């Protein structure tokens, strides 16, 4: 009896010890998967390079990627959104403050809390390259900077009109594939990214990633060299084409993705085959070190926050004391403050007389003709 009891007690104690051990093993493997990608923060640079109302679809493309990226967790402070023209509040838009991606106005990708960092004439090749390489003037605000470090995964999305080896910005200038490759090399040398995903939706888009030579780059394009990317469907109410085919199917794919999904890059490569897209989407993974099958979509499109569990206690400092209000000393007479006269006519005319007297004084180099109470009369042309 005692022996049986001893065995059951022993087994019970063993069970008690092994369960947490097994559980911590499980936690460790999960934690191991958690940290396998090597990045700690996510950034996105989304650029639409086309101007004019008939290029509505390029703005809709960019905004649909913006919407997916925001929905999956990347905050506005980590997104640099560049839109070369305003479609939502354009006077030709029959529904102001909206940009639709599906016909019959089903989905408004503009939303209610969009923040555009570069808009209108600010979207230039120079500004785009400066954002990527970080060489911005010192007075640039934080929301317009790409403050990535060597553990950032960056998603770069470009759309607009392009050709073999170039992408047109605002109908007046262009960026070549060599410039883009050099910019990425500068980013690599300055350790401004951990991994970079480059997506481009233009005609002959594959030519833009042909010249990349920096490591850890993965690129996707909507069409091969010699092919045109086509637009999807027009909306008769708005009067223009709403989206491009590739980004339309990309949006449909991304709508299925949620922050915890395990979809990987191989699924992304299958988006929009030739039967749907008419053009042949291409991709390039030779510069990427990990296997695309092990790269999650949320590594680039989402922002999965890492949590560090600490077991030490931290002592908080004492709270800030509110400043003691200056005791109104009643002995000193404080004169009451007044508002300024908005249109002091007499003073303005007096100013004119002072100016004229100054001029006559300069010319004649004599005593003043009239004694005017002109205080420091600064030369207005200073």
**Catalytic residue ranges:** 161, 203
| C-beta of 97 vs 178, nearer to another protein | 97
Under rule CB under 8 A, residue 341 binds another protein: yes
Under rule CB under 8 A, residue 89 binds another protein: yes
> At residue 294, what are phi and psi to the nearest 5 degrees?
-100, 0
Under rule CB under 8 A, residue 96 binds another protein: yes
* Beta bridge pairs of residue 163: 166
C-beta atoms surrounding 233 within 10 Å: 14
User: What single DSSP character describes residue 293?
Assistant: G
| C-beta of 171 vs 210, nearer to another protein | 171
* CA–CA distance, 305 with 302 (Å, rounded to integer): 9
The only residue of 323, 362, 363, 371 in contact with another protein, by rule CB under 8 A: 323
| C-beta of 51 vs 245, nearer to another protein | 51
State the minimum distance, in angstroms, from the CB of residue 119 to another protein: 6
Under rule CB under 8 A, residue 337 binds another protein: yes
What does the block give as tokens for 204? 């002959």
* Beta bridge pairs of residue 80: 45
Under rule CB under 8 A, residue 95 binds another protein: yes
Dihedral sign (CA 225, 227, 231, 232) = negative
3-state secondary structure of 154: strand
3-state secondary structure of 167: strand
Tokens 């002995």 locate to 331
| C-beta of 278 vs 372, nearer to another protein | 372
Name residues contacting another protein, limited to 24-53 (CB under 8 A): 51-52
State the minimum distance, in angstroms, from the CB of residue 265 to another protein: 31
> At residue 15, what are phi and psi to the nearest 5 degrees?
-60, -45
Under rule CB under 8 A, residue 344 binds another protein: yes
The only residue of 5, 315, 318, 352 in contact with another protein, by rule CB under 8 A: 352
State the minimum distance, in angstroms, from the CB of residue 316 to another protein: 16
233, 304 contact by CB (below 8 A): no
| C-beta of 112 vs 308, nearer to another protein | 112
State the minimum distance, in angstroms, from the CB of residue 73 to another protein: 18
3-state secondary structure of 202: coil
Distances (CA, A) of 179 to 126, 213, 329: 11, 12, 67
80, 181 contact by CB (below 8 A): no
C-beta atoms surrounding 42 within 10 Å: 26
The only residue of 43, 56, 110, 249 in contact with another protein, by rule CB under 8 A: 110
* CA–CA distance, 156 with 152 (Å, rounded to integer): 12
Dihedral sign (CA 361, 366, 372, 376) = positive
Of 18-26, 119-127, 232-240, 262-270, the window that binds another protein (rule: CB under 8 A) is: 119-127
| C-beta of 275 vs 338, nearer to another protein | 338
Under rule CB under 8 A, residue 311 binds another protein: no
What does the block give as tokens for 9? 């007690």
The only residue of 343, 362, 370, 371 in contact with another protein, by rule CB under 8 A: 343
Under rule CB under 8 A, residue 348 binds another protein: yes
Under rule CB under 8 A, residue 336 binds another protein: yes
Residues of this chain that bind another protein (CB under 8 A): 51-52, 86, 88-89, 95-98, 110-117, 119-122, 137, 139-144, 170-172, 320, 322-323, 328, 334-345, 348-349, 351-352, 355, 378, 380-382
């Amino acid at each position: 009896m005692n022996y049986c009891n001893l065995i059951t007690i022993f087994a019970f104690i063993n069970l008690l010890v092994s369960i947490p051990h097994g559980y911590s093993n499980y936690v460790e493997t999960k934690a191991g998967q958690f940290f396998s990608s090597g990045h700690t923060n996510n950034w996105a640079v989304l650029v639409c390079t086309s101007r004019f109302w008939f290029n509505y679809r390029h703005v809709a493309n960019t905004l649909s990627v913006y919407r997916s990226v925001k929905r999956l967790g990347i905050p506005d402070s980590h997104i640099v959104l560049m839109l070369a023209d305003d479609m939502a509040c354009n006077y030709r838009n029959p529904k102001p403050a909206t940009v639709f991606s599906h016909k019959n106005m089903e989905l408004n990708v503009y939303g209610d809390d969009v923040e555009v960092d570069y808009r209108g004439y600010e979207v230039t090749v120079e500004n785009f390259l400066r954002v990527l390489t970080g060489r911005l003037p010192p007075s640039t605000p934080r929301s317009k900077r790409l403050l990535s470090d060597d553990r950032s995964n960056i998603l770069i999305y470009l759309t607009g009109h392009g050709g073999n080896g170039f992408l047109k910005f605002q109908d007046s200038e262009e960026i070549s594939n060599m410039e883009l490759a050099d910019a990425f090399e500068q980013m690599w040398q300055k350790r401004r990214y951990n991994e970079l995903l480059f997506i481009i939706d233009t005609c002959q888009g594959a030519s833009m990633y042909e010249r990349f030579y920096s490591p850890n780059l993965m690129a996707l394009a909507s069409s091969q060299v010699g092919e045109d990317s086509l637009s999807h469907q027009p909306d008769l109410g708005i009067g223009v084409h709403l989206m491009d085919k590739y980004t339309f199917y990309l949006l449909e794919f991304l709508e299925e993705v949620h922050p915890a999904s395990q979809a990987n890059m191989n699924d992304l490569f299958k988006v929009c085959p030739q039967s749907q897209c008419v053009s042949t989407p291409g991709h390039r993974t030779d510069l990427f070190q990990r296997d695309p099958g092990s790269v999650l979509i949320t590594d680039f499109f989402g922002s999965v926050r890492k949590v560090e569990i600490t077991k030490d206690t931290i002592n908080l400092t004492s709270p800030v004391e509110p400043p003691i209000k200056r005791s109104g000393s009643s002995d000193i007479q404080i004169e009451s403050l007044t508002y300024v006269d908005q249109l002091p006519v007499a003073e303005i005319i007096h100013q004119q007389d002072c100016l004229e007297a100054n001029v006559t004084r300069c010319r004649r180099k004599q005593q003043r003709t009239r004694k005017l109470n002109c205080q420091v009369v600064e030369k207005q042309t200073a």
